[in-house]
Structure 1
Amino acid sequence: MSLSANEYLKRILLAPVYDVAVKSDLVKLDKLSASLGNEVWLKREDQQVVKSFKLRGAYNKLASLNETQLQAGVVAASAGNHAQGVAYSARMKKIQAVIVMPETTPDIKVDAVRNFGGDYAKVVLFGTSFDQAKDEALRLSQVHGYTMVAPFDDEDVIVGQGTIGRELLEQKPDIDTLFIAVGGGGLAAGISVFLKQLKPDLKIIAIESDESACLQAALKAGKPVPLPTVGIFADGVAVKTIGTEPFRLLQEYVDEVITVNTDEICAAIKDIFDDTRVIAEPAGALSIAGIHKYLQQNPMQGHKFGGILCGANINFHTLRYVSERCELGEQKEAVFAVKIPEHAGAFKKFCELLGGRIITEFNYRYATEGEAHIFVGIKLRGGRAEFAQLSDTLNDNGYQCFDLSANEMAKLHVRYMVGGRPANLQNEHIFSFEFPEYPGALMKFLNTLGETWNITLFHYRNHGAAAGLVLCGFEIPPAQRDVFDQHLAALDYQYQEQTDNPAYRFFLSDLNGVFAK
């Protein structure tokens, strides 16, 4: 039987998390507050020794175990912050912990778990996905009698995370709207079940990545349901299915759910850095991205907003990607494609129409004797409204303009590939793939798909995550498409066909029907 709301309240008040956790600071983001016209307060969970809130729930779970369970040890499956929280907690409790991590986990995260756990944490690398690692952890718990420490779907873990709500109420009792990131839901469940009982007029808004919106899917279905796929950028919230117990609580205590995209998350990372000089991980910046989105949808001033920087375990190499995308998220940049006539003076006229705007990117490719195609990035001072005006101006002057600011394939791949087309290639089909980052992933791909069909295009991008992003083209005669699809299923990599994507059609395919869709 689930805990009652009152029982959660009592347990959160008595939770022994401060054996290992610190009461993290609540800081006002002065620059962001001034720009938004509302006070924005940020709870600094990056100040925990493992750089995330996960320590609270992991330690509270271990503290709830009896002596027999402690002696038997614990097991957890995680590729991120939960693994570090369990490892450090096991070290503090002086018990043995087994941490099962996918083989694709970056070395920096594996090393962090080993360092936090010391002699008390053993890392087991198993499988190429979280689900496989979780199944192995469950098997080990059954074989060896370990207690499974779940990352979010556990009452004791939820109680531990709820101690953040207790601190918030002490530090800033007049916050009127609180924004909380949601992955599996343990953080938002613990905070909301505590605060809503003591301050029922407080508005709580859950923030999800639009690539892993499992709470929205569950609310729509009336129960937790698995997402077909999840994105890899905000890996701290990349959860396919919301936890059963968190969902029960969130249904009752969360007032609204907002989703944010990758560019908006990158902009929020920059916002936090500008005010604090702290670099949040993508999941850690969700609450700030949510505040921006909420104010776009509900313009207001004079309110007191709270958010939680729930983690700062960012891979350094991710920063180049964040830097590329943050101004798009802030609507301070636009990227677009333009057809220009291929004759003397055409480029100069185009630049004149830009009206002195700063060009952030320019890729040019000769297309035919009559026209050229260019990929352009420009700085915006007036947001999307300014770009709409520019687009109208270009169209009025005979330049066909196609906005690519929201086109993921264009931003991730095509901007780096502008420069060539096949001279005569029939039946080309384009797919985007997620490649697991482990030895043999490319050869598996080639052995499954590359020997039967001609590969016509290949572009790889990695932004410091556990999977690389690949754009690949194949020459597939119509009669062979069913067979190709069978090989795709056997490959078992996440993929999406991009053949009709306008960025591909504009820059990389033949010239027929570029603006048809």
Structure 2
Amino acid sequence: MNAVAPLVVDDDLLARIRAARVYEVAQVSALEAAPLLGERLGRPVLLKREDQQPVFSFKLRGAYNRMVQLDAAQRARGVVAASAGNHAQGVALAAAKLGIRATIVMPVTAPRVKVDAVRRFGGAMVDVVLAGDSYSDAQAAAARLQAERGAAFVHPFDDPAVIAGQGTVALEILRQHPGPLEAVFVPVGGGGLLAGVAACIKALRPEVRVIGVQATDSDAMVRSLETGERVALDEVGLFADGTAVKQVGALTFALCRQHVDAMLRVDADAICAAIRDIYQDTRSVAEPSGALALAGLKQYVAAHGDGAGALVAIVSGANMNFDRLRFVAERAEVGEQREAVFAVTIPEERGSFRRFCAALGRHDITEFNYRIGDARSAHIFVGVRIASRDEREALAAAFRAQAFDVLDLTDDELAKLHLRHMIGGRSPLARDERLYRFEFPERPGALTDFLGRLHPDWNVSLFHYRNHGADHGRILVGIQVPAAEQPLFQRFLATLGYPHMDESTHPAYRLLLRE
């Protein structure tokens, strides 16, 4: 991208960055080593902790730097802003600090944690309006309000003062790490942070690479730089809501076209894996957009191998809705390629289930779903923790060696999002079925041990297990036991050695699973 002829956008941008008044509300955020991730990648990895700011995001830098420069007449008319959440919190805090009335338009899809935080930071100085499904929709609504009121518009990214405020992040990085630095990875929505960071670094340390990272379903900057002109997306993904922008700014595009070395796209699974990496090294939970840069850094290392100098990822925010954590935890294993997901078909005959368990070996099972539905074959959905893609392929080969049909669903979005939760239902073949819940100590190989101890004389007609990360694993099992064999079955349960509970009369089971 640096091959493009230089564009003179703002000759004094570096001076603006140095003069930015961000520290009246912001703090110099830490630049911390990520030792666990660094050891795994074989490279020094540093995290720029913008999630530690008072609004848990870098956005207050640009918002405050813009609003503090308003004259008395502009302050009296108030300001209007549009934001997916983090910029809104910065504007709200600045409004309360400077005594300026602010109307902030946020998309209805903005996480509740961000909406509540805007009201909390702004107090009586802020009115929140919810409109549209994305930042671009909220921006259109804010433009109408601005025109009606004659108020100043505090743009989240396409404004020199905002860009300068965000550029102070780069100044801090260069001061905190004067040693060898290979690349800085920056999350990108509209491009304000990337534009400020890139302009600053290229002015002071031009040998340092600046790499922007976007979600695959919100890649307006990537497409714009690829085509040489600003591209407007029809739709944007909302998982990384903080960077869900349909069109980047004119000024940010020009600056990024001039200064940015490369752009990367990452998917939701890679973002989830990066959220977990940040947590493991810092015990902090980044929001999806906050983990974008680290996901890109990991992709870069995988593609480029060894290099010189440290790698920095800007952790841009931590305004995570708590209810998203379940999705993040579930997808992080796949994003790190630590979980393989298979649909395995085995013959519905004695001994085949034991052969299936033997093929699994001592692998740690993350999920196991099965419901009897065919007199000739059984279809099992299984998730297995792995260390590499090679191990995933070896496991599939082990299933095939037992003459089992295997469908690798690890990269299948439908299977990961929906089908893994939909296996079950009534079955006319589940005669004499008894339903039991079991608990066992959660340790590697424990589920395989349990499977191996199930008596071969009774057919397993239903099986459900998910690894929830708790001390004890919980399994739901349907076992076909004729009435005459109930005493023998009870003696078997007593010798099995696992706590259990008979759920055969549970009303939900009888309604949804019992024929």
What TM-score bracket applies, with the shorter chain setting the length?
0.7 to 0.9
User: What is residue 506 of structure 2 aligned with on the other side?
Assistant: none
Deviations 1:234-254 (CA, angstroms, capped at 9, x unpaired): 111111222221111111211
Deviations 1:317-341 (CA, angstroms, capped at 9, x unpaired): 1111111111111211111111111
Asked whether the 8 Å contact 1:281–1:311 carries over to 2, the reply is yes
Q: Give, as a single letter, the amino acid of the residue that structure 1 aligns with 2:419.
A: V
Q: Distance in 2 between matches of 1:299 and 1:100?
A: 44
User: What is residue 354 of structure 1 aligned with on the other side?
Assistant: 360
Asked whether the 8 Å contact 1:5–1:193 carries over to 2, the reply is no
Uncovered stretches (5+) of structure 1, i.e. residues with no partner: 424-517
- Change in Cα spacing, 1:128 to 1:274, as seen in structure 2 (3 Å) is closer
- Change in Cα spacing, 1:417 to 1:389, as seen in structure 2 (3 Å) is same
Secondary structure of residue in 1 paired with 2:161 = helix
- Change in Cα spacing, 1:106 to 1:376, as seen in structure 2 (3 Å) is same
Asked whether the 8 Å contact 1:266–1:322 carries over to 2, the reply is yes
Asked whether the 8 Å contact 2:17–2:165 carries over to 1, the reply is yes
Q: Distance in 1 between matches of 2:252 and 2:393?
A: 42
User: What is residue 476 of structure 1 aligned with on the other side?
Assistant: none
User: What is residue 69 of structure 1 aligned with on the other side?
Assistant: 74
User: What is residue 300 of structure 1 aligned with on the other side?
Assistant: 306
User: What is residue 257 of structure 1 aligned with on the other side?
Assistant: 263
Asked whether the 8 Å contact 1:51–1:312 carries over to 2, the reply is yes
Deviations 1:384-412 (CA, angstroms, capped at 9, x unpaired): 11111221232233212111111122111
Q: Distance in 2 between matches of 1:303 and 1:336?
A: 40
Q: Distance in 2 between matches of 1:205 and 1:394?
A: 42
State yes or no: 1:143 paired with 2:173. Answer: no
State yes or no: 1:192 paired with 2:198. Answer: yes
Q: Give, as a single letter, the amino acid of the residue that structure 2 aligns with 1:74.
A: V
User: What is residue 93 of structure 1 aligned with on the other side?
Assistant: 98
Calculate the aligned-residue CA RMSD, in Å.
1.8
Deviations 1:243-270 (CA, angstroms, capped at 9, x unpaired): 2211111112111111111111111111
Q: Distance in 2 between matches of 1:304 and 1:404?
A: 36
Q: CA deviation at 1:146?
A: 0.8
**Which one of 241, 245, 248 corresponds to residue 247 of structure 2?**
241
1:20-99 counterparts in 2 under 5 A?
20-99=25-104
Secondary structure of residue in 1 paired with 2:322 = coil
Secondary structure of residue in 2 paired with 1:76 = strand
User: What is residue 513 of structure 2 aligned with on the other side?
Assistant: none
Q: Distance in 1 between matches of 2:265 and 2:427?
A: 39
- Change in Cα spacing, 1:253 to 1:228, as seen in structure 2 (3 Å) is same
Q: Give, as a single letter, the amino acid of the residue that structure 2 aligns with 1:77.
A: A
TM-score by length of 2: 0.79
1:506-517 counterparts in 2 under 5 A?
none
Q: Distance in 2 between matches of 1:281 and 1:103?
A: 18
Q: CA deviation at 1:128?
A: 4.7
- Change in Cα spacing, 1:66 to 1:421, as seen in structure 2 (3 Å) is farther
User: What is residue 452 of structure 1 aligned with on the other side?
Assistant: none
User: What is residue 277 of structure 1 aligned with on the other side?
Assistant: 283
Q: Distance in 2 between matches of 1:246 and 1:140?
A: 24
Asked whether the 8 Å contact 1:103–1:126 carries over to 2, the reply is yes
Q: Distance in 2 between matches of 1:361 and 1:347?
A: 16
- Change in Cα spacing, 1:208 to 1:129, as seen in structure 2 (3 Å) is closer
Q: CA deviation at 1:355?
A: 2.2
Q: CA deviation at 1:134?
A: 2.0
Q: Distance in 1 between matches of 2:106 and 2:273?
A: 30
Asked whether the 8 Å contact 1:24–1:45 carries over to 2, the reply is yes
State yes or no: 1:167 paired with 2:166. Answer: no
Q: Give, as a single letter, the amino acid of the residue that structure 2 aligns with 1:332.
A: R
Identity %: 48
**Which one of 319, 337, 340 corresponds to residue 334 of structure 1?**
340
Q: CA deviation at 1:101?
A: 2.1
State yes or no: 1:217 paired with 2:219. Answer: no
Q: CA deviation at 1:212?
A: 1.0
Deviations 1:91-112 (CA, angstroms, capped at 9, x unpaired): 1111110011234444432221
Q: Distance in 2 between matches of 1:193 and 1:48?
A: 22
Q: CA deviation at 1:421?
A: 9.2
The worse-fitting range, judged by mean Cα deviation, of 35-44 and 386-395 is 386-395
Q: CA deviation at 1:140?
A: 1.1
The worse-fitting range, judged by mean Cα deviation, of 102-111 and 254-263 is 102-111
State yes or no: 1:363 paired with 2:369. Answer: yes
Asked whether the 8 Å contact 1:342–1:372 carries over to 2, the reply is yes
Q: Distance in 1 between matches of 2:111 and 2:291?
A: 21
Q: Distance in 1 between matches of 2:242 and 2:175?
A: 27
Q: Distance in 1 between matches of 2:19 and 2:201?
A: 15
State yes or no: 1:403 paired with 2:401. Answer: no
User: What is residue 208 of structure 1 aligned with on the other side?
Assistant: 214
Q: CA deviation at 1:350?
A: 1.1
State yes or no: 1:384 paired with 2:389. Answer: yes
Secondary structure of residue in 1 paired with 2:56 = coil
TM-score by length of 1: 0.78
State yes or no: 1:10 paired with 2:15. Answer: yes
Secondary structure of residue in 2 paired with 1:308 = strand
Q: Distance in 1 between matches of 2:304 and 2:384?
A: 28
State yes or no: 1:322 paired with 2:328. Answer: yes
Q: CA deviation at 1:420?
A: 4.4
Secondary structure of residue in 2 paired with 1:226 = coil
Q: Give, as a single letter, the amino acid of the residue that structure 1 aligns with 2:289.
A: A
State yes or no: 1:417 paired with 2:422. Answer: yes
Q: Give, as a single letter, the amino acid of the residue that structure 2 aligns with 1:108.
A: V
Q: Distance in 2 between matches of 1:3 and 1:84?
A: 32
Q: Higher Cα Rg: structure 1 or 2?
A: 2
User: What is residue 512 of structure 1 aligned with on the other side?
Assistant: none
User: What is residue 227 of structure 1 aligned with on the other side?
Assistant: 233
Asked whether the 8 Å contact 1:333–1:380 carries over to 2, the reply is yes
Q: CA deviation at 1:45?
A: 0.6
User: What is residue 179 of structure 1 aligned with on the other side?
Assistant: 185
The count of residues paired between Structure 1 and Structure 2 equals 421
Asked whether the 8 Å contact 2:110–2:241 carries over to 1, the reply is no
Q: Give, as a single letter, the amino acid of the residue that structure 1 aligns with 2:24.
A: D
